[in-house]
A and B are shown apart, each in its own frame.
Chain A
Amino acid sequence: MADSTGSVVTIVSEERTPESSLFDHVERVTHARGERFAVLLNLSKLSPHHRRPHHIRIAARTFDSLLNTRDVQLYVLGNGDIALMCKDIPVDDVDYMIDKLRMLFRNDPLAARTRSGDVEFTSWYDFESEFDIFFELTQARAEAANKIAAQSEDASAGRGIGAGFAGQPLDPYSLAKIDDSLLRLPIGELMREQPAVIVGADGTEDILFQEQFVSISDLQRRLAPGFNLVSNPWLFQHLTETIDKRVLAAMARAGLGDDSGPISVNLNVKSVLSKDFQRFDDALTQHSGKIVIEMQQIDVFSDVENFTLARNWLRDRGYRVLLDGLNPLALQYFNPGLLDADFYKVAWGTEFVEAETTEIHTETGALVEKVGPERFILGRTDSEEAMSWALTLGVRRFQGFFIDQVVERKAEKMLQARLDGRA
């Protein structure tokens, strides 16, 4: 991997791991503990979203001025943690820099949560009293790191298909090849569906629509093993345009049964304005009332003017329009109501609840109220907690793994009831 955490500020060319360099340093000062202390910044405990290589790189840079003027050494460890070895320097000076760093990560629960307690974001070791603890800790880390370094060589042979979206970053040439193979691939095999539901006052849920989508992880496995299709947002966006073409053609061919329930389809604004969509529209026009078109925030913002045109036109033809790709953070920064969509899908994540102040929650609630709670759908609902968060905002429409289970259980129950009835 070209840009893994290990390659950040640490010295890759050296055979040694940063962990063992740190341990060397600790060993060296065994007999000169006076006026020394160490701070461990537990950046590995940040949410994955906040500990990508560039975050760690910049976190390390925050300490530049200390490194230049004081007797401080910095180690970036393989897991993203940063260790500072300090000598003859007021604790407050270090603390000041850490506060700045914490500000940088204030949207992360780790930094937000432990504002006063400060137990998780950093760990401090005064060498006068806690040297032994730090010694053992760094020793253990060094050993573990050496083991991993030795192991990854053997494992690499079979790595190929990364879990989730691991893999080599996508480049234009590989994208071109994937584009080509996409044109030959029967896209139907990669189409999946996931229900969005509306929860009634009595707690029962009805299907709002079934989202039809191409599984990107399957696509990656089939067409580009070893590559990470979402590594670059712009190349990925381009890929979705190719996917749109195939999906539109496939759906136009397959049509929609008269007894089919409402569905949703993900499209780029450009695709909605294309000839491919015209053909789709020709084939499915009598079903347009059951079709929701989902468009991504990033795409819509890149060309609001054409989005407006597409939205008006779609609506005129009877389709409904959904703005996808929002998150609670986005809601703090702009009013999606200005885009006048029929639905807004907000993706949920624990980090938002944990970092959310009551003030922000109230603000979000007011915005939802203003735009209309009936227009909001909570996406990525993966737990009961997610659902209750949204319910407090008046949101009653949901989609996500948790909903999948609920819907499945309900279907099973109905099936069982029918079987029982027959028995």
Chain B
Amino acid sequence: MALSPEDETYQPASQESLLLDYVHRLESHMEGRRAVHVHLSELASDNRRDHHIRIASSTFEPLVKLLEGQLFALKNSDLFFIYKGDSQNDVETSILKLQFLFGDDPLFEGESGDTHSESNAFRTYYDVERNYADILQLVRGLVMDAQESETGGEEAVEAKTEFVVREERGEALTPRVLGRVEDALQRADLSNMVRRQFVCALIGEAAPQPLFSELFISIQDLRETLMPGVNLTRSRWLFQHLTETLDRRVLAMLSKSTDRSITGEISVNLNISTLLSPEFMAFDDAVIAAMRGSIVIELQKVDIFADLNDYMFARDFAKERGYRICIDGLTHETLAFVDREKLGADMVKMIWNSDIIDNVGAKRAKRLIKLAGASKVIFCRCDEEAAVDFGQEIGVNMFQGRYIENLIAEESRRRDMEMARRRTQNLDLLEEGDGE
């Protein structure tokens, strides 16, 4: 969880130990008291960022202010609220509000909407008098967990979550840092940060067919080299500005390199402002007219909606010159906002998120994809097989991502082996022939 700087320097007693203390003191006057444990830690990670927890906590604030209860916000994101029994209705209302707030979370899938039973996946109610021993044990456990996560617990943290944590913390990208980074970018050698990832057609069980490859600058490499410790994702707008600078460098690089990079069908990510810039004109001059048809320009949805007029102008210009247009950065939530055909884009890219399986379901997803034009949709950031399985089920047959890269690697290994096998077979045949 990201903490604001002031929180990091100041170490108050943990909420868990305060809670334990409170529960101990409760022992002598627990009559009519109730408690509820809200399992926010069970929500999908997207739904339990700092602001989610803050908002969830604030739901109980009126009751706290009326001295009806005491709220504890635990390290694992859970909330624990101990209150006077006559507020039961207010507490239930608060919980309902929270359920509504997080209504799209998979946690609520399959919930019968039963709001009365003592315990469900989202919250557990306790009668303090009746369940005192249980509560005490639970809270002791919470204190232990919290201490563990503070000290040695880190070893168990997966590499992935560690990355997320680092991503969420880190120095924020401020305008000054941005300025420095952009200055450095003018001189930095980006050629070793260029990555290539294929967009493939995947039909049934057939081997992946590469359609084009996206050339991009690895933001992770860039950060490691130019701005270690800086968190790029925390300032969306400044990051967007940084991409404009990157665009120009990438175009300059592509204009110069005649051999390596511009081979085969490629795609590049550009800002609309870049598409209309002198740098793009220079790139356009450097590219042979016949090549333009094999270049896909990827534009971000936020850029398109920032100025539709500019988008249409740039799109007409690019298409007139033979480039193809792909709208990038869509999610299953935003796909519906983009009328691909009306916007005149050749393709759209949707970021794969397994949420779609449970939250949208195959039927609705299929309709969504059909509206966008099934043959025009690319699922990107496919890290897992489920992306391909689900995609194919709903009519998508273009994919991109780490899982696809693995498939390609596997396929080429298989082919190498096949070749080797044939070669030995041929040798055998030759030998047999020699023998005669």
Question: Could you list which residues of chain A lie within 8 angstroms of chain B, going by C-beta atoms?
Answer: 49-50, 54-55, 57-58, 61-62, 100, 103-105, 107, 171-173, 175-176, 179, 232-235, 237-238, 241, 270, 273-275, 278, 281, 297-298, 301-306, 308-309, 312-313, 316, 327, 329-330, 332-335, 338
Contact = CB atoms under 8 A, between A and B. Distances in A.
A238 B316 contact: no
B241 A234 contact: yes
Interface string B28-60: 000000000000000000100001101100100
A301 B334 contact: yes
A176 B241 contact: no
B337 A50 contact: no
B327 to A, nearest CB: 12
**Main secondary structure on A side of the interface with B:** helix
A116 to B, nearest CB: 21
Contact of A329 (B52, B308, B334): B308
B342 interface: yes
A306 B306 CA distance: 18
A234 B301 contact: no
Nearest to B97: A316
Contacts of A235: 175, 237-238, 241
Contact of A233 (B238, B278, B306): B306
14 contacts: A50-B309, A58-B313, A61-B317, A104-B317, A107-B309, A172-B182, A176-B174, A176-B175, A176-B179, A235-B237, A235-B241, A302-B236, A308-B333, A333-B339
A100 B320 contact: yes
In this complex, which of B176, B244, B276, B305 has the most chain A Cβ atoms within 10 angstroms of its Cβ? B305
B207 to A, nearest CB: 35
A306 B333 CA distance: 11
B339 A303 contact: no
A57 B182 CA distance: 25
Contacts of B338: 334
Contacts of B320: 62, 100, 104
B175 A297 contact: no
B335 to A, nearest CB: 10
Given A57-B281, A316-B101, A327-B308, 6 more contacts: A62-B320, A107-B309, A176-B176, A176-B179, A237-B237, A330-B305
Given A241-B237, A316-B100, A334 B339 contact: yes
Nearest to A327: B308
A313 B54 CA distance: 11
A57 B284 CA distance: 13
Chain B: interface residue count, which band? 35 or more
Given A61-B281, A173-B176, A275-B54, A104 B313 contact: yes
B278 A312 contact: no
Contacts of A50: 309, 313
A387 to B, nearest CB: 24
B179 A172 contact: yes
B353 to A, nearest CB: 10
Interface of B: 4, 46, 51-52, 54-55, 58, 97, 100-101, 104, 174-176, 178-179, 182, 235-238, 240-241, 244, 273, 276-278, 281, 301-302, 305-309, 312-313, 316-317, 320, 331, 333-334, 336-339, 342-343
Nearest to A49: B309
Contact of B4 (A58, A175, A275, A312): A275
B235 A305 contact: no
Nearest to B234: A270
B237 A238 contact: yes
A354 to B, nearest CB: 14
A238 B238 contact: yes
**Shortest beta-carbon contacts, A-B, top 7:** A172-B179, A54-B276, A176-B175, A273-B51, A237-B237, A175-B175, A234-B240
A301 B237 contact: no
Contacts of B241: 172, 232, 234-235, 238
Given A58-B313, A303-B236, A172 B308 contact: no
Contacts of A304: 331, 333-334, 337
B390 to A, nearest CB: 20
B101 A312 contact: yes
A274 B343 CA distance: 34
A298 B306 contact: yes
A114 to B, nearest CB: 19
A338 B316 contact: no
Contacts of B305: 297-298, 301, 330
A103 B337 contact: no
B175 A173 contact: yes
Contacts of B101: 309, 312-313, 316
In this complex, which of A104, A238, A270, A273 has the most chain B Cβ atoms within 10 angstroms of its Cβ? A238
B179 A333 contact: no
Given A233-B306, A301-B305, A316-B97, A55 B175 contact: no
Contacts of B343: 333
A422 B305 CA distance: 55
